[in-house]
Amino acid sequence: MSVLKRLAWVIVALVVCALIVVYFFIHPIILFHPKDEAMRAGRAAASFPAADEDYYHDMDGAISLTPEEIKGRNMWIAWTGGDDRLWDTLATTSLGTLDFLKTLSSRPGLKASRSNRWDYLGLVNEPCYIQATGPDPKRYGLWLDTRDPACGPEPFENEAKYPGVQLGARGKNIPAGSFYGYATGIVGLRLFPNPEFDEKAAKHWDPVRYYTDPTYYNDKNLVRPYRVGMSCGFCHVGPNPLKPPADPENPKWENLSSNVGAQYFWIDRIFAWQSDMSSFPVQLFHASRPGTLDTSLISTDNINNPRSMNAVYDLPSRMAAAQRWGRETLRGGEQDNKQLNDFISSGPLTNFYQAPDLVETPRVLKDGADSVGVLGALNRVYLNIGLYSEEWTKHFRPLVGGQDVSPILIKTANEKSVYWQVTQQQTPNMALFFLKSTAGHHLKDAPGGEAYLTKDQAQLEHGKTVFADRCARCHSSKIPQPAPGLDPNGCSGKDYLNCWNRYWAWTKTDDFKTKMQAIVHQPDFLENNYLSTDQRVPVTLLKTNACSPLATNAIAGNIWDNFSSSTYKDLPSAGTITVYHPYTGEPSQYVLPAGGRGYTRPPSLISAWSTAPFLLNNSVGTFDPSPSVEARMRSFQDSIEKMLWPERRDKDTLLPDKVPGVIDRTTQESYLSVPAGFIPPALRPLLSPGSRLLPAVFGEDSIRIGPIPAGTPVDLLANLDLLGEGVSPAERPARQERVVKLLVKLKLDLAKLPAGATNEQAQQVFANLLPEMLALSKCPDYVSNRGHYFGTSYAHEEPALTDADKRALIEFIKTF
């Protein structure tokens, strides 16, 4: 064989090997299911007793709780289920962007400390803690909040009662602590000794360089002495609207509520400790308005869909509504979810499940996807924030995606995760706590609230009539009984859209409106009313941004397959929506896929006065960082007026008169950077200052892709369909090849820009690739604050309300 032929065969072999590697990189095969850390340490579920101290007694209006309900609240606020492992991993794999140990710190030079944590981050300072004034030798030189001695010990840190999981260095080179971890001074974040912090790691640890030296803290091999765990309370505890703190930076427990949602939470500052706006990931986070979070941030679906962290209000009424509207059928792995009947043997809570496959359930996620029962919805949240990350992260590539996604199986978690077993056993207590604690916060009960309520009874009665005619069909759980064939509960799944359309048509008739007016004008209308139907409303009718209802995490075969019902998966396409070109404003039509996507459940209007801005992404209305009654009312008034007079909503900076709202665009030139510590050693010579290879792509300490010009629609990049999930399996390889070619061309074309290139020159690169980027988008809907035009001149199927109608409606909504 000639040398040329041998060389040819070598090249062919290398190409084949490369293709095999790429295939398994995109399509990984899970050959085994690892045990979680608790099981590896030999712990059993019984060794994790639920905390019974009523430490949070003054929260939630100091309501009286049973021992079980106390355990439920403690679980909500303090239990992290071993998820500190995930957040420590992400501190490395986020390429230096996310680092909760710095978020917790008060060292000079950082952008936030305990003294401005609320104002800058929107995080709740835990009462009884003091800001660090220097490095703490007991905490390896970290600048962390310390417990006020006057308050006594924090009960969940009791390692004798709640012994920590001894694994690796934890319990040897570093104390094991409690399985609830140490309090951090921020509600919802807990500190755990790192089991990888052995003698070698301790010798290498330098707290000064950790805060100041990027070559040190961006080293992928750095082992921090602590890991940070996250509880559900991190995203759900907030200031009580009825007892707002005089100083938001220094609340007392009585000023806080367990269920109101983190309305003031700045994700771009919390999840990116430097908050460097020249970083494209930070620009992506910045598209999330305060109080919103993309729940598929970690198990990314390559759709940017930040959603408001809604308050959990009136669970008893919501459960009652579920028996009317929430019937779901389960099959396969969906049936592995625990139900209330597994823990309760008698009483009304046993009426929400009929073995083996029928459940009546509230739908918690905004797209109505988690539909397998209230306990399944609660348990799924813990997986989503990192419980059993040993297995969970094998089914996708955290944060960046680019790998086929497969379902995490409840069956596997039951067999291999002690933390999961404990969580399943204790969530019934959490459900009991919600049944007791989720009463609405009414403006009349807030300090000075009466001054904002109308004394004009005629105007209030007028508002009730307007609400009955235009709002109650989606925003009341007290609704006339529809005629047979109109009730979507009677024909869910594949027939749902036809039933919904008949129901919607009925709500516009005099028959419905007459009956509804009689209900709304009853003096007890607001009592035991969830102020939502929890039905799935087609986004074709709502005309709101479609990216949230287009989320793919819960469709068949995806990560949350076991947590969405077959009823959800059988939903038909909701139809066709109009989307707009992000540079020209030209409208086009987009056909929504079937299989669950394309629908949004109406939010409850309970305490609407305290929950502005509005829409599912908080995009309508002015955000006010103060939790005072006055500030909430300013935000409410601005937001509700923009809802009812949509012409007042914010306009796009580039296309103010051509698209119906705002397109979230990058605010400055930005780059996607990979620090040197994450670059394979073979490629590091390319980073040297003397290297002549691709100098515009490789910087001195990182690989940079850019410049991404200011004004670029964030979702143009964030929504690229990397895996071809929007096409048939047969078409998927060709689709993935197109994406790879697009990204390579984008990288190379940007690299060809001259030094000091203008923003316009960079925009031209994007303009050349724009048709392909739009064609490959997983959600081509870029306008964030559009839709929900009911009662306005923007809606065409019913006459617009008059200004007097709208003013009266606003006065009635204030009483919710």
- DSSP output for 529-553: --S---PPEEHHHH-S-STTTT--T
- Residue 645 has a pLDDT of 98
At residue 256, φ and ψ (nearest 5 deg) are -120, 150
pTM above threshold 0.85: yes
Q: Given a cut of 70, is residue 19 above it in pLDDT?
A: no
Q: What is the CA radius of gyration of the chain?
A: 27
Per-residue pLDDT, averaged over 329-344, amounts to 96
Give the pair of three-digit tokens for residue 24: 């398994």
Per-residue pLDDT, averaged over 629-653, amounts to 98
Q: Which residue, among 50, 78, 298, 309, has the nearest Cα to 189 in the 3D structure?
A: 78
CB 417 within 8 A of CB 35: yes
- Spacing of C-alpha 651 from chain mean position: 25
Per-residue pLDDT, averaged over 381-390, amounts to 96
Give the length of the chain: 816
Per-residue pLDDT, averaged over 183-188, amounts to 98
Q: Which residue, among 630, 123, 603, has the nearest Cα to 638 in the 3D structure?
A: 630
Tell me how far CA of residue 404 lies from CA of 269, 357, 439, 512, 725, in angstroms.
30, 29, 42, 47, 9
Residue type, 423: T
Looking at 13-22, 42-51, 65-74, 467-476, which range is the least confident one?
A: 13-22
Integer Cα distance of 509 and 514 in angstroms: 9
- Residue 701 has a pLDDT of 52
- Residue 677 has a pLDDT of 56
- The label of the residue with tokens 């605010």 reads 667
- Residue 538 has a pLDDT of 98
Facing residues of 671 across strands?
279
> Taken in order 565, 570, 574, 579, is the CA torsion positive or negative?
positive
pLDDT category of residue 1 using cuts at 50, 70 and 90? low
Beta-carbon contacts of 349 under 8 Å, excluding residues fewer than 6 positions away, are: 340
Q: Which residue, among 83, 117, 284, has the nearest Cα to 186 in the 3D structure?
A: 117
pLDDT category of residue 376 using cuts at 50, 70 and 90? very high
Integer Cα distance of 727 and 289 in angstroms: 31
Q: Given a cut of 90, is residue 790 above it in pLDDT?
A: yes
- Residue 15 has a pLDDT of 39
At residue 129, φ and ψ (nearest 5 deg) are -125, 155
Q: Given a cut of 60, is residue 55 above it in pLDDT?
A: yes
- DSSP output for 28-42: ------PPPHHHHTT
> 56-72, pLDDT tens digit by residue?
999 999 999 999 999 99
SS3 at position 498: helix
pLDDT category of residue 702 using cuts at 50, 70 and 90? low
Facing residues of 358 across strands?
329, 354
Pairing, β 292-293 against β 256-257:
unpaired
- Residue 695 has a pLDDT of 35
HEC profile of 284-329:
HHHCCCCCEECCCCCCCCCCCCCEECCCCCCHHHHHHHHHHHCEEE
Integer Cα distance of 528 and 526 in angstroms: 6
Per-residue pLDDT, averaged over 249-266, amounts to 96
CB 228 within 8 A of CB 190: yes
- Residue 489 has a pLDDT of 76
Integer Cα distance of 2 and 41 in angstroms: 59
Which H or E run includes 505? helix 496-507
At residue 166, φ and ψ (nearest 5 deg) are -85, 115
Which string of b and e fits 333-350 if b means at least 16 CB within 10 Å? bbbbbbbbbebeeeeebe
Which H or E run includes 391? helix 389-392
Q: Given a cut of 80, is residue 96 above it in pLDDT?
A: no
Percent of the chain with pLDDT over 70: 92
DSSP annotation of 783: B
Per-residue pLDDT, averaged over 571-598, amounts to 97
pLDDT category of residue 735 using cuts at 50, 70 and 90? confident
- Residue 572 has a pLDDT of 97
Integer Cα distance of 771 and 751 in angstroms: 20
Q: Given a cut of 80, is residue 679 above it in pLDDT?
A: no
Integer Cα distance of 652 and 784 in angstroms: 10
pLDDT category of residue 377 using cuts at 50, 70 and 90? very high
Inter-residue long-range contacts of 212-218, CB under 8 Å, 24+ positions, other chains counted = 212/109, 214/96, 214/675, 214/701, 215/676, 215/677, 215/701, 217/96, 217/99, 218/95, 218/96, 218/675, 218/676, 218/677, 218/678
> 290-308, pLDDT tens digit by residue?
999 998 888 889 999 999 9
Residue type, 149: P
Integer Cα distance of 402 and 725 in angstroms: 11
- Residue 687 has a pLDDT of 45
Integer Cα distance of 130 and 283 in angstroms: 32
Percent of the chain with pLDDT over 90: 79
Integer Cα distance of 603 and 614 in angstroms: 10
pLDDT category of residue 485 using cuts at 50, 70 and 90? confident
Pairing, β 358-360 against β 670-675:
unpaired
Beta-carbon contacts of 15 under 8 Å, excluding residues fewer than 6 positions away, are: none
